[in-house]
Structure 1
Amino acid sequence: MLNAAVLTALTMLLAAPPHYAGTLDTDWLVTPVTTPATVRMSDDGKELVLSNGLVARRFRLRPNAATVAFDNLMTGESMLRGVKPEARVTIDGHSFDVGGLKGQPNYAYLLDEWKDDLTADPNAFVFVGYEVGKTQPRFAWKRVRHCADLPWPPRGVSLTMSYRPPERSQSTLPEDLTVTIHYEMYEGIPLLCKWLTVRNGSEKIVRLNRFTSEILAMVEYESEVDNYQLWRVPNLHVESDYAFGGMNASVANHTTHWVPDPDYLTQVNYLRKNPCLLESRPPVGPDVDIAPGETFESFRTFELAFDSTERERNGLAVRRMYRTIAPWATENPIMMHVRRADPNSVRLAIDQCAEVGFEMVIMTFGSGFNIESEDPAYLAQLKELADYAHGKGIEIGGYSLLSSRRISDEHDVIDVATGKPGGATFGNAPCLGSRWGQDYFRKLYAFYEKTGFDLLEHDGSYPGDTCASRSHPGHRGYEDSQWTQWKTISDFYKWCRGRGVYLNVPDFYYLTGSTKCGMGYRETNWSLPRAQQILHGRQNIYDGTWTKTPSMGWMFVPLTEYHGGGPAATIEPLRDHLDAYEAHLANNFGAGVQACYRGPRLYDSDETKAVVKKWVDFYKRYRDILESDVIHLRRADGRDIDGLLHVNPQGKIKGLAMIYNPLDRPVERELKLPLYYTGLADTARIREKEGESRPYKLDRHYNVTVPVRIDAAGVTCLVIE
């Protein structure tokens, strides 16, 4: 019999009701909110209100412009406690606030009756006007493969507010210099975007040394009197597209800074160190020159308000955000990593992919594929392979290593601390602003134009290294090196997105065009015995999908030996280890997650081919629901059944639960499923696999109880309609 404590924990977890604490009549994560995003003038003519029915931001316009309210309409909370500048810029060595108002008597809260007494800072950029418009695409997205039917750009409204230099600064700043603050608010999600541009209308070059594009005095999340090290910050998700050096947003986020507010003198913390002031700014630079007639554009900061503190609900909100502002990340092609790049091996991979329904062939790392070659004969050979693949309905591409390698002392990044090569994220790394870096990207652009290839797996990517070289043609020195390198790689990724080139990038470049990153796993674990790999795989998917949608993360299946492990770790010959192969297929396709199936072939017998095709067909039959939102049921631990629940309240199929049994004996269970996020309220029709559906009544917590029987080391699915 199964352990009673384990059974109790599983039942409680599966039965847990959602923690929706909203005050609105509808839950935006279940029922689409179609309230338009608008900009309107307040009744007294003193304030602009940017709102979408879920969040609202108010701007006082005189004697200068400033945010005076940031309200969570879902919970009724005022998230803002004080007035700050809208931005801050340092130009030619002089720092200036942009907008803002002075004179708030207490920064613990902001009363309406105080607003009329606030004054303008004579040293700040002055508000001169605003425009209202529609949201605009950050860059082009060419849709060439299966993806979610989402609008681009997201539906919403834009607001631009322009500022001129203060009169006192005209000895240090040209008069014809404009800072414009841009806002976008999107329909149906408590999300806004903010960035700034600096237009140089003068006849001389100006240098933008630093900028802070967002400054918000937020209500503190907690109050601690004593010296405290583990502060929790306000319940707002903030990230920007200036992201690198990590496979999740928190690690790759280098622009979001929660810092103490020097104006907040009445806070509870004795040392006044509560980190409740939000600043969005680059860690270094940009230190770029803006030539006469040119405009500098900053990165974009996205601010998502939560209506809960519950992990799953907040994860659903973040995943909805990515689908909204990076919808290309819903592209989720079924991909094979072919182990050899010679024409015969690639043609075999293409043929097998076409036979079983795979959609993409990637010439993997170590295959011999060379994207940097400019040999006309080699490029012609690859063009022939691309034509052959396209004739079979298969996309094709390959792997390129960028940052995690050494080129030479001349071309590598220079450590600012030592003045020598080294000190980069991966030790030594090429500088993208070196002659080598410029030549590398020239070759990449040319490669896709000449070969017609469909994808790039770009390893290493650019992890945010700075470079203190003074001789590289792409940057002047340390201060502008991070910005210029990021521009180089992000511009290339945006170009790829506009051409429909798919991007596998093990770094957080989703918001600048990347389509997939690692779900999160330790590579050497693929050298473990096969059974351990399978359990690890489900754990990795379970953990990764708290913040990634299924389509945003790749997994791995080592058809051939990888990082050692010998015969015990290897699936080849495939027909001899078909149980392990099928378990990997069930793990990944059942989760809506694509894996790197790395080897020389997908099948080696009719029986193997049938198993692969079975799971591909399953995935394509239920693709829409499998690529939808994930509710986490129970994490795999090898001690009891585990699983995920896919939900889509707008779909014909409302949910699909994948339940795995890692035990060496069958399990029969009355299984409770939480169906709140399916959108069903009274009755659900549920069938096991392709069986007959039966009606089940939802209880007051939106749960149903379903009998299941799962074979030893087996898997089943429950389809909810």
Structure 2
Amino acid sequence: MRTLSLALRTSAICLLAICFANFNLSPELDAGDPPLAPTTKANPDWLLNPAPYRSQIQTVPPVDPLQSEAHRPTEIRLTNGLAERVWQISPQVATTSLKLLSTGEEYVRAVGPEARLTIDGQSFPIGGLTGQPVKNYLKREWLSQLKPLPGSYSFVSYQTGPIEERFAWKKRPEWMPRDLPWPPPGQHLVLQFAPPAIPPQIETGKVLFQERFGENSPAAKIDAGWKPTVSTRHPRTSFHNEGKAGELMALPDTCVYLEREWPAEGASVELTIDCGDDTNANSWGPGLAWKFPEGTISLVARPHSQQLEIYGFQGGEQLLGEFDRTQPISLRLSLQQNEVVCEAAQKGASFQSLARIPVTSHPQTLRIGKIGKHGDGKDYPTAQGEPCRNHLHEVTLRAKPAPSAQPVLADLPRVEMHYEIYDGLPLFSKWMVVHNTTSRPVVIDRFVSEELRLVEVESSVEDATLTERYNLHVESEYAFHAMDAAHACEAGVRIQTDPDYPTQVNYRKQTRCLLDASPLQGPGIHLPPGQRFTTYRVYELLLDSTDRERRGLAQRRMYRTLAPWVTENPLMFHKVQSDPASIREAITQCADTGFEMIIMSFGSGVNLENSNAAYRQKYRQLADEARQKGIALGGYTLTGSRSAGTPADNTQGAPAAFGVMPCLGSAWGRDYLQRVKDFLFDAGLSVLENDGPYPGDLCHATTHPHHHGLADSQWVQWEAQSDLYRWCRKQGIYVNQPDWYFLNGGNKTGMGYRETNWSLPRAEQEIIERQNIYDGTWTKTQSMGWMFVPLSQYHGGGAAATIEPLAEHLDHYEARLANLIGSGTQACYRGPRLYDTQATREVVCKWTRFFKDHREVLGGDLIHLRRANGRDWDGWMTVNPTGRERGLAFFYNPLETEVRQTIQLPVYYTGLATNARVTVEKETPRILPIQAGHQLPLELIIPPRSRTWVLLEEVN
């Protein structure tokens, strides 16, 4: 990697060096329309031709490594012509723009830290700027006025280079429609951060004024510099009740306070109080306030709710923390780098930061005592009851602490922030690496690897429901317990409310506009000296349309780029036996018909946990025999919803997602994963079907050797499961898993179906199957989702639901093959055999040959034409705009009568612009013109209870 040192501020820090026309389609889809962004030959649609959009890292102004520090850049840009991310790097690093260049849409409305890291219970921002006047938008002229976040990790330098592979991948090109690069082409940026300098302690600042109320003042006198304000709502209201200076007597929710001019050199004020017998007051509680030219900032105790209230003149009150009203509490306001820091401490503990409020001026006066709502001197209009007491104990005003001659860096780990941008699509990734450069072990309690203040997608005064969708798809590797990204990725990334957005429209400040990438639990990792911890990666895909098809196409392109192994799509037979004779019969049938994979299915009897050498050798011989005929052999193992060897090795505490789950941080759990690896390796198997992978369960045990307790249990188990799949990718072992582990090496998950539906009558299964494929491929490629064909009885249903004997239901068997292969989708054909007669064999061979003849276009994107409803034709089209075969459309007819229609086929995503070479099944090819709106009119006859396919090719 190229390295440029961009040291900031001190030499000590330097040393550390994401179209369719009239088809009677769903109302939400109009896929015949051209893309929203205009395209030209020089600026083509990236979904059709991504080649021009190459990634680069730019500096503004451009940097020469030989130039002096005075010429360091002020911005870094990660861009590829489709999207860009921009960082301001002086006086500190912060993301100032995330933009989709094709539409001009800006995603960032406010600055903040690049990340957050909590180490040994103490939280630190990573980089970040503050001082933005309002958070609704970010004006460029504000950037020069922004200040570093206090106490944050400081930017040191950056490095650049090409993207490197996340882990090794042994490709299986025989199962792929076309070769894809690994690692994906693009650029990688690393920002280096050093620990924050230790700030001088506020308590060391020179004392400008101090008063201990009630001490040495028998005449109840207070310093002459105070100006009292006393409520007139009750005659006993006083700031020296019964002659005791600092004892406040007043009705609940009324005011009695002391005010004095604030010294010009003053930097902090600390007040110790107790609430006395005031148990009813809310906003009108004891505390302190600074009055500025532009308004008042107050920090007061609410005795009734036992919470602290902060009011800032830039917008609204905040209720933060809890306190014990029976004990004294200390409150502190301090000026730190153009911010007022509000803090509190109780029972001898250290001060805890509550809020930071930007300011542009100096305080004018200080108020202490029982202060009104918003720090003012107004009584609550309906205040009533009996007077009650609060007590002022001590107030101290200090000057700013003297700066250290040489900043001392905190003894904390070093941090790297990593970013990638990918060629040919508007996609970024981001992750954090923590290097423990200290001499002691540290605990990484929590991290936030991405914190983007997004331009809100909607504004509502009432409770914000987020009915609109962001033009942004965010996903992470930290995903489990779901068959779709939207649900699986909630474990690691969310769009939530932003408490630091006082000027939003929503009254309760509940607009979801803060992108937060952090685990819900932990990670709680114990990191020894000299080792490093790497967070999961977050992927941010910027979307250029609200059209459902186009958004899905972008997401599917993302998976092919980040996890190209998902395009491996072998024809797979689920064998319900595992004895050698049955497997050899399956090998023969697969080789005879063109199937490419045999999976010894659940219930087959295979045991991948068996450590017996002779047992493994038996399957080694079968795997070798299969391999010689071009067939991959593998088997099934159950991870979830089963017990470990002993109950103590299961997850402890709350019930597991599936009732019971071995803890993958226990000795048995790790041994189980290793036994599966060893079996696959020793037996030479090429397929792992892993049922119930780690679904995100927690474990409260403290005796399991591979995790410390609850805090790190989720992370450790996810990492163990992911490691199994990464290892499989390196070995070229295909992985079926019913959870979202694609970015960690998984090949396929369920397309999405209800298993009991395969017990319905056969004719209904055909239609529901097409619905499942149609619905499951909006955000998954066809190759990412398996379907299911129960050749033998499954979940009941009897003879009406079962295909066996195959020859007796050959029309249905062919319909299922045509449904699946016509969409490029593979199914678990589960049963004892693939064919039983020569006629059955010929049907299977017909469709496997069709799949292999058209594998490239069938492995392209699926364009949704019409969802199956049993009332009219339905269908889809697979497209490949850079291939020889540009499109392959299938039209299905569920009716007992033929369908004759002129269908306007939307061909935009085939890349064909003027003419197309059209073949309808085995008819003679014709050259047809493409009409306006990218429509190709086709006169089709679809036979009853059958299908028709149409091939589109480029005109030579």
Compute the TM-score of the two structures, normalised by the length of structure 1.
0.96
Residue of 20, 33, 41 corresponding to 2:59 = 41
Match of 2:625 in 1: 388
2: CA distance between counterparts of 1:16 and 1:518? 26
Provide the rounded CA distance (Å) in 1 between the counterparts of 2:738 and 2:29. Answer: 33
Q: AA paired with 1:310?
A: D
Deviation at 1:587, TM superposition (A): 0.6
Matched, 1:413 2:673: no
Which of 431, 435, 440 is the matching residue for 1:195?
A: 431
Following the alignment from structure 2 to structure 1, what is the Cα–Cα distance between the partners of residues 55 and 751? 33
Instruction: Please state whether the residue corresponding to 2:417 is helix, strand or coil.
Output: strand
> Do residues 205 (structure 1) and 441 (structure 2) align?
yes
Report Cα offsets for 1:45-85 as digits up to 9, x if no partner.
31111101111111111111110111110101111111010
Q: Report if the CA contact (8 A) 2:31-2:547 is conserved.
A: no
- Call closer, same or farther: CA 1:706–1:468 in 2, change over 3 Å: same
What count of residue pairs does the alignment treat as equivalent? 709
Structure 1 residues 214, 693: closer, same or farther in 2, change over 3 A? Answer: same
Alignment of 1:651-666 (within 5 A): 651-666=883-898
Identical counterparts, % of pairs:
49
Task: Give distance in 2, aligned partners of 1:332 and 1:280.
Answer: 32
What is the letter of the counterpart of residue 47 of structure 1?
E
Separation in 1, partners of 2:686, 2:702? 37
Task: Name whichever structure is richer in helix by fraction.
Answer: 1
Q: Does the Cα contact within 8 Å between 1:46 and 1:61 map onto a contact in 2?
A: yes
- The yes-or-no answer on 1:600 pairing with 2:832 is yes
Counterpart selection for 1:53 from 81, 86, 89? 81
3-state SS of paired residue (1:410):
helix
**1:247 is matched with which residue: 471, 483, 490?**
483
Distance 2:199 2:679 in 1: 49
User: What is aligned with 1:31?
Assistant: 49
5+ residue gaps, structure 1, are 1-6, 417-422
Counterpart of 1:307 (choices 526, 539, 544) is: 544
Does structure 1 residue 69 correspond to structure 2 residue 97? yes
Partner Cα separation in structure 2 for residue 388 and residue 429 of structure 1: 36
Once the 2 structures are TM-superposed, how far is the Cα of residue 680 of structure 1 from its aligned partner? 1.1
| Greater fraction of residues in strand | 2
Aligned to 1:21: 36
State the 1:693 CA deviation.
1.3
Task: Check whether the contact 1:122–1:168 (CA below 8 A) recurs between aligned residues.
Answer: no
Larger Rg: 2
- 2:175 paired residue among 146, 149, 152: 146
Asked whether the equivalents of residues 75 and 87 of structure 2 are also in contact (C-alpha less than 8 Å), the reply is yes
User: The residue matched to 1:575 in structure 2 has which SS?
Assistant: helix
- Match of 2:603? 366
Q: Distance in 1 between matches of 2:860 and 2:903?
A: 22
In structure 2, what residue type is equivalent to 1:38? Q
Correspondence 1:328 to 2:565: yes
CA contact (8 A) 2:113 2:149 kept: no
* Counterpart among 164, 167, 184 of residue 197 in structure 2: 167
Aligned partner of 1:183 in structure 2 is 419
Whether the aligned pair in 2 keeps the contact of 1:48 and 1:59 (CA below 8 Å) is yes
Deviations along 1:369-389, whole A, 9 cap, x unmatched? Answer: 000011122111111111111
Contact 2:29–2:549 (CA<8 Å) still a contact in 1? no
Task: Report how far residue 231 of structure 1 moved.
Answer: 4.2
Contact 1:14 1:633 in 2 (8 A): no
CA distance in 1, matches of 2:30, 2:188: 42
Over 3 Å counting, the alpha-carbon distance change for 1:22 and 1:86 in structure 2 is same
Per the TM alignment, residue 259 of structure 1 is displaced from its structure 2 partner at its CA by: 1.6
Q: TM-score, normalised by structure 2?
A: 0.73
TM-superposed deviation, 1:560:
0.3
**1:258 matched residue in structure 2:** 495
Unaligned runs of 5+ in 2: 1-21, 63-72, 202-407
Matched residue, 1:319? 556
> Which one of 901, 906, 913 corresponds to residue 674 of structure 1?
906
SS across alignment from 1:506:
coil
**What is the match of residue 663 of structure 2?**
431
Distance 1:170 1:183, change over 3 A: farther
Which of these residues, 94, 100, 104, is aligned with residue 122 of structure 2?
Answer: 94
For residues 273 and 11 of structure 1, the distance between their equivalents in structure 2, rounded to whole angstroms, comes to 32
Which residues in structure 2 correspond to 1:465-476 (within 5 Å)?
465-476=697-708
Inter-CA distance 539–383: structure 2 relative to 1 (3 Å threshold): same
**C-alpha distance in 2, partners of 1:97/1:73?**
29
For the Cα contact (< 8 Å) 2:573–2:829, is it kept in 1? yes
Letter in 2 for 1:371: L
Q: What is the CA distance between 1:695 and its match in structure 2? A: 1.7
Give the counterpart of 2:795 among 549, 563, 570.
Answer: 563
Q: Which one is further off, 233-242 or 164-173?
A: 164-173
The 2-side partners of 1:229 and 1:304 are apart by: 23
Q: Which amino acid aligns with 1:385?
A: L
The answer to whether the Cα contact below 8 Å between 1:181 and 1:197 also exists between their aligned partners in 2 is yes
User: Structure 1 residues 414 and 14 mapped into 2: Cα distance closer, same or farther (>3 Å)?
Assistant: closer
Deviation, 1:43, is 2.5
- Per the alignment, in what secondary structure is the counterpart of residue 577 of structure 1? helix
| Cα distance per residue 1:282-334 (max 9 Å; x no partner) | 11011001111111000000000000011000000000000000000000000
Matched, 1:223 2:459: yes
Query: How far apart, CA to CA, are the structure 1 residues paired with 2:144 and 2:759?
Result: 68
* Equivalent-residue separation in structure 2 for 1:170 and 1:362 (angstroms): 66
> Does the 8 Å contact 1:15/1:703 carry over to 2?
no
Corresponding letter in the other structure for 1:709: I
CA distance in 1 between partners of 2:409 and 2:467 (Å): 40
After TM superposition, give the deviation of residue 201 of structure 1 in Å. Answer: 1.5
| Pair 1:345–1:720, CA change in 2 (3 A) | same
Quick check: 1:687–1:694 contact (8 Å CA) kept in 2? yes
Q: Give 3-state SS (helix, strand or coil) of 1:168's partner.
A: coil
Pair 173,511 (structure 1): closer, same or farther in 2 beyond 3 Å: farther
Amino acid at match of 1:532: E
TM-superposed CA distance for 1:9, in Å, is 2.4
Q: Secondary structure at the match of 1:463?
A: coil
1:420 matched to which residue of 2? none
Deviates more, 1:22-31 or 1:186-195: 22-31
In 2, are the aligned partners of 1:683 and 1:695 still within 8 Å (CA)? yes
In 1, Cα distance between the equivalents of 2:441 and 2:949?
Answer: 64
Contact 1:19 1:310 in 2 (8 A): no
Partner of 2:927: 695
Q: 1:396: how far off?
A: 0.2
| Corresponding residue SS for 1:223 | coil
- Report how far residue 15 of structure 1 moved: 8.0
Larger CA deviation: 162-171 vs 31-40: 162-171
Deviation digits for residues 463-495 of structure 1 (CA, Å, limit 9, x no counterpart)? 010111111111111110000001101011101
Q: CA deviation at 1:30?
A: 1.4
Q: Deviations over 1:418-448 (max 9, x none)?
A: xxxxx11101111111121011011012112
Q: State the Cα distance separating 1:11 from its structure 2 match.
A: 11
Q: In structure 2, what is the equivalent of residue 615 of structure 1?
A: 847
| SS class of match (1:289) | strand
How far apart are 1:228 and its partner, in Å?
3.1
**Contact 2:196-2:410 within 8 A present in 1 as well:** no
Q: Which residue of 1 is the match for residue 106 of structure 2?
A: 78
Q: Which amino acid aligns with 1:26?
A: P
Mapped pair 1:581 → 2:813: yes
Question: 3-state SS of the aligned residue for 1:406?
Answer: coil
Contact 2:817 2:847 in 1 (8 A): yes
Deviations along 1:76-134, whole A, 9 cap, x unmatched?
11111110100000001100000000100011111111111100123000001100111
Give the whole-Å Cα distance in 2 for the aligned partners of 1:483 and 1:176: 22
- Residue 415 of structure 1 aligns with an amino acid whose one-letter code is G
Q: Letter of the aligned partner of 1:163 in structure 2?
A: F
| 1:111 is aligned to 2:153 | no
- Aligned ranges 1:376-525 → 2 under 5 Å: 376-407=613-644, 408-416=646-654, 423-525=655-757
Secondary structure of 1:351's aligned partner: helix
Tell me which residue corresponds to 1:353: 590
Tell me how far 1:681 sits from its aligned partner.
Answer: 1.2
Once the 2 structures are TM-superposed, how far is the Cα of residue 360 of structure 1 from its aligned partner?
0.4
